[in-house]
A and B are shown apart, each in its own frame.
Chain A
Amino acid sequence: MKGIRYSRIDEFRWEIPRCGGMRVPGLVFAEEGMLPDIERDQSPHQVANVAHLPGILRYSMAMPDIHWGYGFPIGGVAAMDVEEGVISPGGVGYDINCGVRLATLEIPRADVVANAERIAAALASDIPCGVGAGCSLALSERDEREVLRKGARFLVEKGIGDASHLEHCEENGGMENAEPESLSARALERGRNQLGSLGSGNHFIEIDAVSEIFDEEVARDFGLAIDQTAILIHCGSRGLGHQVCDDFLREMRRGFGERHAEIPDRQLVCAPIRSEAGRRYVGAMNASANFAWANRHMLMIRAAESLERVFGRGPRDVGLRLVYDVSHNMAKFETHEVDGRRVDVCVHRKGATRAFPAGHPSVPAAYRATGQPVLIPGDMGRGSFVLVGEEGAMRDTFGSSCHGAGRQMSRGEARRRVNVRTLEDDLRGRGVVVRAKERATLGEEAPLAYKDVGDVVRVVGGAGLSRRVARLTPLVVIKG
């Protein structure tokens, strides 16, 4: 880490000692072999920058999928004391409650493989994706406010999906304390025509198959079996969330004043959690999170309807069953043990996933004896992982784990190095059919642009934050 000293704690932990205005040390979860990649960019400096934020407790942390972000590193975790600490919109990100949803299907793997091209075509035409796409469900002003208040529950009450889709979702698909009135007119306007749309970049909808089981018992509890097919969705709160982040960064910059001097990056602008600006941001962030859960819910339902049409079967035969839905860009109010006492904290997870273990009251009843499913999308070649939260996460990372593979190559370099046709042929040879709204940008998302997600989950497993349950292999991939 150029210009940053760090010392080895153990095989999976590297500490960045306190220096300058850092209030706590930094802590990076990684294997030694990953360090050269991490050192290449600015992310270790960003870990140190986050350590300057008022009220931060114990460590400014980074998960093994760490890479250079804006403000916080991607993979960053920071818990702030609720009474003395700050909340930072940049520590949540523009895509508020970007997250991952996994739902299993009863369609046999062989049927998906045999019809992969048709499925890809149907999903690509039915799911609004890419720049300027429409939405799956246009909202009136009144309905939009209900979405912001209730999250996915609004759709279930309208007969879109059922109650089981809420029970198996982080926060039951909706945050309490959501304040639609804290959103600007522009943010509301941007959301109205984007519910049930995918966006672009690294967002996707996949049809996967379970290709490997690492823990039979937990997999059974999660409803996962070898060759089981599933829908995997990665998406967030769309333009509504982006606007909320921008609006509050601007608002907090106005009130930032002298604190600016001690914070090394303007993107880390923040407000005390107990301030009026902080309180309003939390209400707006929660409302945006609810929009994101409704968005992923809508995308899941649309995808299932597409499959019904492709196979000429009804909902029962498609057999949609939500396994779980996680948020990986969010700040959450939780109680954790710090130095032997229970403390109310605000945990910023910027590209990091909650990973609560068995017995935690916030884990849905169906998984309380097992632990929370932790969904880790990889790249479209090497597939994704389902993990389960472990006690070590509560002890060391405020109940957090990694969120994905993490990029290791810029989009530009990936574009220059990847021939899209060769990539498509190569993936087809491995049994993966890919569709992208803009073919030319497919190269940016090629497997070589990402770290090996297997390495990332090995580290969080070794560190005791979450352990492997199953591997998912993509069969059909739709990129925005």
Chain B
Amino acid sequence: MKRPAARRAGKRVAVRGRGAANRERLVDPSRGRRYLGRVASDERSSGSVEEEHPSDALLRVFAASREDLYTAAARACFGLMTDLERVLPAEPRLVSCEGHDAEDLLAVWLNELIGLSGVERRFFSRFEILELSDTRLVARVSGEPIDPARHALSKEVKAATYHRLSVRETPVGWEATVLFDL
């Protein structure tokens, strides 16, 4: 995606993406919250935009492929908790989960990671999807134990909820909406 020729005056919203954690970007208010900036030059376009919600985190996640969408959603989730740039992707482990459909699978995947993070007191920063269908996902996830001396501690994410949950294909890739309970 190219940056718009002229940076129109737009509303600033937090954008999180690979290699661009917690940056702010411009979006064009006349076109809703469409993301106009590029997230990272060295990766396929994927990332997330935070939409307005009074108490929780309503994120729109986008990616070039379905696999990348599940990865980007996981990064967005952990991006709410900490600065992922400072989390070493160590000690990989396999995570597998099943859902009723693509949307259910997204919630199950995110909640599996949130639960695992809570039990092991560990942040995850790298997610590699090894197998993906509408109802099943296998991934290798890497991260390290939470270290307050090195990791920014932003906020706990209680869960990925089913409210407004959606996964859809767009003309340019894939998009999901997830409301995280904080």
Interface residues of A (CB under 8 A from B): 41, 67-71, 74, 90, 93-95, 130-132, 186, 189-190, 193-194, 199-202, 239, 242-243, 245-246, 249-250, 253-254, 265-267, 269, 407-413, 416, 437-438, 440-441, 480
Contact A68 B155, beta carbon cutoff 8 Å? no
Q: Point out the residues of chain B lying under 8 angstroms from A130, CB to CB.
A: 148, 153, 156
Contact B159 A407, beta carbon cutoff 8 Å? no
B152 to A: closest C-beta gap in Å: 7
Q: Which residue of A lies closest to B53 (CB)?
A: A410
Contact A74 B165, beta carbon cutoff 8 Å? no
Contact A186 B119, beta carbon cutoff 8 Å? yes
Contact A412 B14, beta carbon cutoff 8 Å? yes
Comparing B54-62, B67-75, B130-138, B167-175, the segment that makes contact with chain A is B54-62
- Tell me which of A193, A265, A438 contacts B155 (CB under 8 A): A438
Task: Decide yes or no: A266 and B163 within 8 Å by CB, A70-B179, A132-B153 being known contacts.
Answer: yes
> Of B55, B162, B164, which is in contact with the most chain A CB atoms at under 10 Å from its CB?
B55
Contact A243 B13, beta carbon cutoff 8 Å? no
B146 at the interface (CB under 8 A from A): yes
Number of residues from B at the complex interface, CB < 8 A: 40
Task: Decide yes or no: A131 and B156 within 8 Å by CB, A250-B108, A412-B14 being known contacts.
Answer: yes
Extra contacts besides A71-B161, A94-B181, A441-B154 (7): CB < 8 Å: A41-B53, A95-B158, A190-B119, A239-B118, A265-B162, A411-B55, A438-B152
**In the complex, A440→B155 CA distance in Å?**
10
A and B contact pairs by CB, cutoff 8 A, 9 listed: A68-B54, A70-B162, A131-B156, A200-B156, A242-B181, A250-B108, A410-B52, A411-B57, A411-B182
B58 to A: closest C-beta gap in Å: 8
Contact B54 A408, beta carbon cutoff 8 Å? yes
Contact B54 A409, beta carbon cutoff 8 Å? yes
**In the complex, A130→B121 CA distance in Å?**
12
Contact A201 B163, beta carbon cutoff 8 Å? no
Q: In B103-138, which residues have CB < 8 Å from any A CB?
A: 104, 108, 111, 114-115, 118-119, 121, 123
A409 to B: closest C-beta gap in Å: 7
Q: Point out the residues of chain A lying under 8 angstroms from B165, CB to CB.
A: 266
Q: Point out the residues of chain B lying under 8 angstroms from A245, CB to CB.
A: 159
Q: Point out the residues of chain B lying under 8 angstroms from A266, CB to CB.
A: 162-163, 165
**In the complex, A416→B22 CA distance in Å?**
13
Q: Which residue of B lies closest to A184 (CB)?
A: B115
Contact B163 A70, beta carbon cutoff 8 Å? yes
**In the complex, A132→B154 CA distance in Å?**
10
> Of B53, B54, B121, B161, which is in contact with the most chain A CB atoms at under 10 Å from its CB?
B54
Q: Which residue of A lies closest to B24 (CB)?
A: A416
Q: Which residue of A lies closest to B148 (CB)?
A: A132
Contact B154 A438, beta carbon cutoff 8 Å? yes
Q: Which residue of B lies closest to A451 (CB)?
A: B54
Q: Which residue of B lies closest to A415 (CB)?
A: B14
B50 at the interface (CB under 8 A from A): yes
Contact B162 A249, beta carbon cutoff 8 Å? yes
Task: Decide yes or no: A69 and B55 within 8 Å by CB, A201-B182, A267-B162 being known contacts.
Answer: yes
A2 to B: closest C-beta gap in Å: 15
- Tell me which of A74, A189, A269, A438 contacts B162 (CB under 8 A): A269
**In the complex, A201→B165 CA distance in Å?**
22
B130 to A: closest C-beta gap in Å: 22
Q: 4 smallest A-B Cβ distances: which pairs?
A: A132-B146, A70-B163, A70-B161, A266-B162
> Of B12, B81, B108, B154, which is in contact with the most chain A CB atoms at under 10 Å from its CB?
B154
Task: Decide yes or no: A407 and B55 within 8 Å by CB, A239-B118, A246-B115, A253-B100 being known contacts.
Answer: yes
